[in-house]
Chain A
Amino acid sequence: MRILLAEDDRTTRLFVSEALMSAGFRVTAVENGRQALEKYREQSFPMVVSDLDMPEMNGIELCRQVKQQIRDSYTYFIMLTAQTDASNVCSALEAGADDYVLKPYNEVELVLRAQIGERTVNLETRDMMGMAMSKLVEKRSNETCAHLRRIKELCLVLTHAARLVPDFADEIDEQFIQGLGETAWLHDIGKVAIPDSILLKPSALSQEERSIMETHTLHGADVFADALQRYPENRFLKMAYDIAISHHERWDGTGYPNKIPGDSIPLSGRIVAICDVYDALTSTRVYNDAMPHQCAVELILKSSGSHFDPRLVDVFLTCLSEFVEIKRRYPDERPEAYPSLQNAPVLAPV
C-alpha cells in the first residue's frame, strides 16, 4: 500500500520511511503539510502519516484538508505527535485523524499501526467490491436485489443457530459469520456467463441447457480463483470461492459440479444450499410461482440427508419463524417485471 509521509525532521523522516518500507509499504516522503497536500492533490493516497508540528502547514491542517478532499476511496490518517501534547491528540482526532502515535515511537509499533490502517482501508474496498459485484448479479440475472438480501439474512440466521450445535461450533467463529454475511449473496455470480436464452427461459430447460446452466458454479468459482491464488490467506475470497462452487452440491454426492458428498462440501456451501432453495421455493421466479412457507419446509425436510446436511436441516427447523420474518421484511420489489409468468406452470403444493 502507498503511504504519503509528511515529517519536517529529517532524522525522524528517515526512521519512519525505513520502518514503513521494511514492512512492504511504498513511501512518498515530504517535508511539510503544504508539500504533502500538493502531492495528495496530484494523486490520492490510501494512507497519510504526518507529524503534527511542521512549518508551512501543520499536521492538523493537513489532516483537515485531506479529509475534505476525499473523493473516491477513504484515506486513513495517522498523526505522529510528542508525548507531552495530550491536547494535540484531541485536536488531531477532531480534525479527522484515524489514529495517533506518540513520540518516541518504535518501528514495531509504527508498523502495526500502519497495518491497522491497511486493514481498515481494505475492509472498505472489500465492502465496495462486494456491493458492486452483487449489483452485477442483479443486473445480469433474473434475481432481485431483495433475493440477494434475503439470502444473506437467511444464511446469517442459520449460521448463528448452527453455532450452538457442537458439530459446527468449532468451525463457526466470528470471522466465519462475517465472511458468510459478506459473500453469501455472491453465490450465483457465475450466472453472468450464462446466455440469456437459458438464464431467462420461462419453461423447462433441455438436458443440454441444464448442463450449461450448471456451469454457473464453475464460472462463479473462476471469478474468485485468480484473486485467491494471489491472496491465498484471504478468508473472504476463500469463502466466496467455496460458496460459488459448492452451493449446488448435495449431501449424498449427486449434486454438481464435483459430486462431492457430506462433510467434503464446504460448510458455507451447505448453509447457502438450504437458504437458496428455501428462498427459491417461496419466491416467484421466471419459471414457477411462489410456494407457501409450509410446503417449502416440508420439501426441505424430505430432502434431509439426500440433498441437505441433515444436521443443518435440524437447525433450520429451529429458526422457521425467523425465516418467515425475513421473507416478510424483504419482499420482491417487482414481480410484474416478468410478463411470461402468467403462462408459467404452477407448482402444486407438496
Chain B
Amino acid sequence: MNTKTNPAAPVDSEQLVQRCNGKVQLAMRMLEMFREDVVRQFSDIRNAVDQNDLEALARAAHAMKGTASMVSANETSQLAAEIEVAAKGSDLEQARATLESLSQQVELCARYKFSN
C-alpha cells in the first residue's frame, strides 16, 4: 500500500522516514511501539472523559498528540490536539464529540502495517 496515493492512511510513512533521515528500520520500530501505545493512550483519554477528569484528559490527549506527531500519524495528532484544547477550555462536550473520530483513527493506527 502506497501512502502517497492513499489519503486515508493513518500514517504519512514518507514523512516519517524522512524524519528518520532515511532509516526505514528505525521508522518501523517506532511504528511498532506506537501501535501498542496509541491504544493505551486512547483508553486513558476515554477513562478521563468517562470520569469527567479534565486535568487527566488534557494530560492524556497531550501525550497522544506528541507521540502521534513523531510517527506522522498526523490526523490522530490533530484530533488529540483538539481534545486537549477542549479539555483545557473545560469543554467536555466538545471533547466527547471529537472522541468518536479519534476512536476511528486509533483503530486504523493500531492495524496499520508499514510499507515503503
B residues at A contact (CB < 8 Å): 18-21, 23, 26, 29-30, 33-34, 37, 59, 62-63, 65-67, 69-72, 81
Which one of A14-22, A177-185, A200-208, A248-256 is at the B interface? A14-22
Minimum CB–CB distance from B41 to chain A (whole Å) comes to: 9
* Complex contacts, B18 vs chain A, CB 8 Å: 106
Range of interface residues on chain A?
Answer: 20 to 34
Is A104 a contact of B69 with CB atoms below 8 Å? yes
Given known A9-B66, A104-B70, contact A14–B29 (CB-CB < 8 A)? yes
Residues of B within 8 A of A22 (CB): 21, 23
Query: Which residue of the partner chain, among B34, B62, B81, contacts A53 with CB atoms under 8 Å?
Result: B62
Known: A53-B62, A82-B62. A11 touches B20 (CB 8 A): no
Question: How many cross-chain pairs have Cβ atoms below 8 Å apart between A and B?
Answer: 63
Closest to B41 in A: A9
The complex places the Cα of A10 from the Cα of B62 at a distance, in Å, of 15
Please report the C-alpha to C-alpha distance between residue A18 and residue B19 in the assembled complex, in whole angstroms. Answer: 12
Determine whether the beta carbon of A11 is less than 8 Å from that of B21: no
Cα distance A8–B81 when bound, in Å? 18
**A53 CA / B67 CA spacing, docked (Å):** 12
Known: A14-B33, A107-B21. Is A82-B26 also a contact (CB below 8 A)? no
Q: How far is the CB of A211 from chain B (nearest CB, A)?
A: 57
Q: B-facing mask of A88-107, CB < 8 A → 1, else 0?
A: 00000000000000011111
The CA of A82 and the CA of B77, in the complex, are separated in Å by 11
Q: How far is the CA of A8 from the CA of B37 in the complex (A)?
A: 12
Which 10 A-B pairs give the minimum distances between C-beta atoms?
Answer: A107-B21, A104-B69, A106-B19, A11-B33, A9-B67, A12-B70, A11-B30, A104-B70, A11-B34, A18-B26
